[in-house]
């Protein structure tokens, strides 16, 4: 039953406290050397990408999954690729008049006309994200996907953590999902599948807004080069446009670019230097890019389309009934906060407050604290639509603030649509962690977010690793923070 909380204690290996502290200290030092953890006082980072300011709690062991949970994650990758493919088709058919126009209307809301025209070009029609990362909350009733991210952070961090924690697999009795370099090789295979030109390098292009992820992607590109893939982590100012294409011209390099891995959000294009030149090169086929410039595939309101009763025949046909039913079970019910008036004879499909059908979004404002187990968040194309920004948790807010969040969401609709989504409470875990400041081991009760990384090559998806983020139990929104534990997932060795 939802609402009940049980504590799941992650198994500890048969190691002494001193052994665990020593191992965690080594992991901390390795993270510092890699530039993914701030140096200790008086210590300089050895990373070429510079030192980060991001910190977290270091787990004593990987986050343990059951074999049944791992099977769930392996099955999920192909299902999510099918979902993206179906969403792409739904949007395209809506633009062409083969599906209701309101579908594209919602997915296009607030986007500049130039970007929409660019995203609809015939040459981009079948392109899909090549990295799929759902955020999944383990609850008492099973797994719940809160959202999908096709431009996710954490790829380099998960790869780095996997390499460090894998060194203690024998001692812990756990086998890391993806292995010690599964993230690196999976990412490399995805990039190779996206390369359309044999000559030229891969440029992981990071915007100023995403600069906090530069250290982890710098570490990752060094590993990519070590296994033979010519890849570099660069800023927009490092790119030079020529009639032949794009070049990297930093630190004495002058290398042609064959593929750009886009580590920047489409809403931020106006703030990215040379973005128009990059788009021109992509348009002319002089460089490939992934993820594609298709904002319709980056909207959280896609969950609302999946649950829309009028679209059920489409989804069942596009996904197959089994996959459709599975996704509607693990993707929470979601509604688009559209301020358009609802006829007196109609109700909002599937939405009820205290057993009463809802006829107006304003009805939500007077719901009791127990009745508003919902989350309000921007759908996409906004600086508030990533991380924990812009998220309002209904049962964690005073009545007045909740009513204000609804008003703000409805007023923002013309530029940034918001969604209303069911809130699902995560189960509790007890786990031990290493305090990198005091060098002591402590125990924490927390809730987890599991983020599997799927890399797409052609028609196949590869589960390369899973990052667990565990936040203290009193935190309503789970995300990377200094009080969180961040650690790769593993299963018990047979």
Preceding amide of 291 cis, omega within 30: yes
Q: What is the pLDDT of residues 309-348, one digit of tens each?
A: 999 999 999 999 999 999 999 999 999 999 999 998 999 9
Structure tokens given for 286: 């002089």
H or E segment and range at residue 78: helix 67-95
Phi then psi dihedrals of residue 249, to 5 deg:
-130, 55
Given a cut of 70, whether residue 2 has pLDDT beyond it is no
Could you identify the residue written with the tokens 């929470």?
332
The gap from C-alpha 245 to its chain's centroid, in whole angstroms, comes to 30
The gap from C-alpha 32 to its chain's centroid, in whole angstroms, comes to 24
Q: What is the pLDDT of residues 240-283, one digit of tens each?
A: 998 889 999 876 778 999 999 999 999 999 999 999 999 999 99
* Torsion angle, alpha carbons of 225, 228, 229, 234, to 10: 20
Could you identify the residue written with the tokens 């380099």?
156
Structure tokens given for 98: 């083969």
Phi then psi dihedrals of residue 6, to 5 deg:
-120, 155
Strand partners, 257: 201
CB atoms within 10 A of CB 414: 9
DSSP letters spanning 127-164: ---SEEEEEEEEETTEEEEEEEESS-S-HHHHHHHHHH
User: Which one of 3-7, 47-51, 171-175 scores highest in mean pLDDT?
Assistant: 171-175
Handedness of CA 308, 309, 310, 316 (dihedral sign): positive
Q: Which of 63, 22, 137 is nearest to 431 (CA)?
A: 63
Q: What percent of the chain has pLDDT over 70?
A: 92
Q: Which of 407, 419, 428, 406 is nearest to 478 (CA)?
A: 428
Could you identify the residue written with the tokens 């909380």?
5
- The pLDDT score that the predictor gives to residue 4 is 38
Contact, 450 vs 429, CB < 8 A? no
């Amino acid at each position: 039953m939802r609402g009940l909380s049980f504590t799941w204690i992650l198994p500890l290996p048969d190691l002494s406290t001193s052994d665990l502290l020593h191992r965690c200290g080594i992991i901390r030092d390795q993270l510092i050397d890699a530039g993914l953890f701030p140096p200790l006082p008086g210590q300089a980072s050895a990373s070429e990408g510079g030192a980060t300011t991001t910190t977290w709690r270091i787990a004593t062991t990987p986050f343990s999954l059951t074999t049944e949970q791992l099977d769930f994650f392996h099955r999920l990758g192909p299902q999510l690729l099918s979902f993206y493919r179906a969403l792409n088709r739904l949007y395209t058919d809506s633009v062409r008049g083969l599906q209701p126009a309101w579908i594209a209307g919602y997915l296009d809301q607030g986007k500049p006309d130039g970007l929409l025209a660019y995203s609809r070009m015939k040459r981009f029609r079948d392109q899909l994200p090549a990295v799929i990362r759902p955020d999944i909350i383990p609850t008492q009733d099973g797994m719940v996907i809160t959202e999908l991210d096709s431009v996710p952070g954490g790829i380099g961090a998960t790869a780095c953590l996997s390499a460090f924690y894998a060194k203690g697999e024998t001692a812990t009795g756990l086998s890391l999902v993806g292995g010690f370099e599964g993230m690196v090789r999976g990412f490399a295979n995805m990039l190779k599948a996206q390369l359309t030109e044999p000559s030229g390098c891969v440029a992981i292009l990071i915007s100023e807004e995403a600069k906090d992820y530069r250290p982890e992607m710098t570490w990752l590109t060094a590993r990519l080069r070590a296994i033979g893939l010519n890849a570099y982590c660069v800023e927009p100012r490092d790119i030079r446009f020529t009639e032949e294409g794009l070049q990297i011209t930093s630190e004495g390099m002058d290398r042609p670019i064959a593929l750009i891995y886009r580590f920047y959000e489409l809403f931020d294009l106006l703030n990215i230097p040379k973005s128009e030149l990059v788009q021109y090169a992509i348009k002319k086929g002089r460089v490939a890019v992934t993820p594609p410039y298709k904002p319709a595939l980056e909207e959280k309101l896609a969950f609302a389309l999946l649950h829309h009763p009028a679209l059920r025949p489409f989804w069942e046909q596009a996904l197959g009934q089994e996959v459709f039913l599975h996704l509607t079970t693990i993707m929470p019910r979601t509604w688009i906060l559209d301020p358009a008036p609802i006829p007196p004879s109609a109700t909002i499909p599937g939405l009820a407050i205290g057993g009463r059908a809802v006829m107006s979004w304003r009805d939500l404002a007077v719901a009791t604290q127990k009745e508003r187990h919902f989350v309000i968040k921007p759908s996409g194309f906004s600086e508030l639509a990533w991380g924990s920004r812009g998220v309002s948790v209904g049962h964690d807010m005073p009545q007045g603030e909740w009513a204000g969040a609804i008003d703000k969401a409805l007023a923002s609709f013309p530029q940034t649509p918001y969604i209303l989504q069911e809130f699902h409470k995560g189960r509790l875990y007890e786990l031990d962690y290493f305090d990198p400041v005091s060098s002591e081991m402590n125990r924490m009760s927390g809730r987890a977010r599991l983020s599997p990384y799927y890399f797409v090559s052609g028609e196949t998806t590869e589960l390369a690793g899973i990052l667990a983020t565990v936040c203290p139990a009193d935190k309503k929104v789970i995300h990377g923070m200094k009080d969180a534990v961040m650690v790769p997932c593993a299963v018990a060795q047979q």
